[in-house]
Amino acid sequence: MNPDRLPPEVADLRLRTRRFIRDTVMAHEPAPGQQLPQATREKLQAAAKEAKVFAPHVPREYGGQGLPIEHWSPVFQEAGYSPIGPSVLNCMAPDEGNMHMLNLVATEEQKRRYLAPLAAGEARSCFGMTEPHPGAGSDPAALQTTATRRSGRWIIDGHKRFTSGAVGAAFCIVMAHTEADGDAPAGATMFLVDMESPGVRLGEPIHTMDRSIAGGHPHLYFEGCEVDDDAVLGEVGQGFRYAQVRLGPARLTHCMRWLGLARRSLDIALDRAQERELFGAPMKDLGLAQHLIAESVIDIETSDAIISKTAQLLETDPRSGSAMSSVAKVHCSDAIHRVIDRAVQICGGDGVSDGLPLAQYLNEVRPFRIYDGPNETHKWAIARRASTARRRAVEGGEPRQGHAVVRDGIAH
């Protein structure tokens, strides 16, 4: 993220967000392991609107700042410098991803009913795709939840789990399998379902190590839940295609937010290394501490670069950008965890205590290697794409490795 190369309006929003997070939001951070009270969240969101930093990714017509994806990262990183910053600025998962998809896919009436209150921070949402084994998880094609057409309505039956944000959500975007019907193919279909609808039952909570997502990650049951045709989001049978519209950017915005927290962690470690003396020398001048600091700077800068490349692709070539988001997700989730872990190490005993927030930061970022698809699944997909691309290149006439290639009269 090179601030000198940002358009003036983006650079200005980034600096205003930076000041708002550090001067207003950080003073309200809850103790490690606690969640931000709803009343405090509403108060801070009102302040964010007044400061004109609220909902940076949302179109201006819905009260946001109207940033294109390629410029989200510098602002999202500033928001992520505080673990409650994204929630205050209304750019936290799962709402942020749902807003993005609704803006691209929903009808005007659906936008009025669901996107407008979500963008304004007046409602929260959840996304129902993950299911207990053997249902959809790492393999979305294993979808078990069904939606059956009957007497002009859809009947949804299924069991979701890890439905992030479900407690207190106003609605859920539900992924369900539908059979072929007319021109619509068999496949997955997305439905907008009010959480107060008959047949929707909030299940038992799943207690996880992270605390930053309001509404937790509970089970969610759909038991003969009936909805009308106007609940269909997009086209019937096209749910997996729309999921990529949502999941590609959503993976990347996780990277952006957590990279902001990695920067905060490195700052905490740098302050400690500046203040402490060991063996008669400042810690910052000791080789072992310098190695940890340098490795963290490298992880932050490489993560920033891959986020920027992926964001540009999502803007200009969404298909390639979605594929690259897997690479970004794997790299950043590992790198960010390393940065925070090194900060803990530099801070020693205080790093693993609640005297500093670093241990809680580790708890927040560790699940990211599982959420939005386990890193191992992404690596499998990355390897498959690489093998396919190479096979096509060879079939198209590009020599295999070991064969001289002549370009511009020079043998390579």
Please write down the HEC assignment for all residues of 341-372.
HHHHHHHHHHHCCCCCCHHHHHHHHHHHHCCC
Read off the pLDDT band of 227 (50, 70, 90): very high
Q: Measured between alpha carbons, how far is 321 from 329 in angstroms, rounded to an integer?
A: 12
Q: Tell me which DSSP letter residue 142 carries.
A: G
Closest CA to 172 of 135, 128, 132: 128
Coil/strand/helix, residue 128: strand
Closest CA to 321 of 68, 58, 60: 68
Tokens for 78? 């500033």
Query: Can you tell me the mean pLDDT for 235-252?
Result: 92
Read off the pLDDT band of 234 (50, 70, 90): very high
Which tens digit of pLDDT belongs to each residue from 81-92?
999 999 999 999
Q: Measured between alpha carbons, how far is 32 from 179 in angstroms, rounded to an integer?
A: 47
Q: Tell me which DSSP letter residue 151 carries.
A: T
Closest CA to 227 of 153, 149, 159, 158: 153
What pLDDT is attached to residue 406?
Answer: 37
Place of tokens 């998962």: 93
Query: Can you tell me the mean pLDDT for 231-241?
Result: 95
Using DSSP bridges, classify how beta strands 125-128 and 171-178 pair: parallel, antiparallel or unpaired: parallel
Could you check whether the bond before residue 134 is cis, i.e. omega within 30 degrees of 0? yes
Q: Measured between alpha carbons, how far is 200 from 406 in angstroms, rounded to an integer?
A: 64
Burial class (CB in 10 A: 0-12, 13-18, 19+), 122: exposed
Q: What are phi and psi of 100, to 5 degrees?
A: -60, -45
Residues 6+ apart with CB under 8 A from 78: 14, 17, 18, 21, 85, 260
Question: Residue 411: is its pLDDT beyond 80?
Answer: no
What pLDDT is attached to residue 245?
Answer: 87
Place of tokens 């790299």: 331
Average pLDDT of the chain?
93
Q: Measured between alpha carbons, how far is 43 from 324 in angstroms, rounded to an integer?
A: 37
Could you check whether the bond before residue 94 is cis, i.e. omega within 30 degrees of 0? yes
Query: Can you tell me the mean pLDDT for 12-26?
Result: 98
Q: Measured between alpha carbons, how far is 55 from 268 in angstroms, rounded to an integer?
A: 27
What pLDDT is attached to residue 412?
Answer: 36
Read off the pLDDT band of 75 (50, 70, 90): very high
Which tens digit of pLDDT belongs to each residue from 312-358?
999 999 989 999 999 999 999 999 999 999 999 999 999 999 999 99
Question: Residue 403: is its pLDDT beyond 80?
Answer: no
What pLDDT is attached to residue 1?
Answer: 59
Report the percentage of the chain scoring pLDDT > 70. Answer: 96
What pLDDT is attached to residue 405?
Answer: 39
What pLDDT is attached to residue 212?
Answer: 86
Tokens for 151? 């007497």
**Geometric angle at alpha carbon 248, from 245 and 252, rounded to 5°:** 140
Question: Residue 408: is its pLDDT beyond 80?
Answer: no
Read off the pLDDT band of 397 (50, 70, 90): confident
What pLDDT is attached to residue 191?
Answer: 98
Helix ranges restricted to H, 137-238: none
Q: What is the DSSP string of 27-92?
A: GGPPPTT----HHHHHHHHHHHHHTT-S-TTS-GGGTS----GGGHHHHHHHHHTSTTHHHHTT--
Q: What are phi and psi of 186, to 5 degrees?
A: -65, 145
Q: How many helices and strands (H and E) does the chain possess? A: 12, 12
Domains in the chain and their CATH numbers? 3-119 (1.10.540.10), 125-240 (2.40.110.10), 243-395 (1.20.140.10)
406 forms bridges with which residues in the sheet? Answer: 411
Residues 6+ apart with CB under 8 A from 220: 126, 128, 159, 160, 161, 163, 166, 172, 200, 201, 202, 203
Which tens digit of pLDDT belongs to each residue from 91-132?
999 999 999 999 999 999 999 999 999 999 999 999 999 999
Q: Measured between alpha carbons, how far is 74 from 6 in angstroms, rounded to an integer?
A: 9
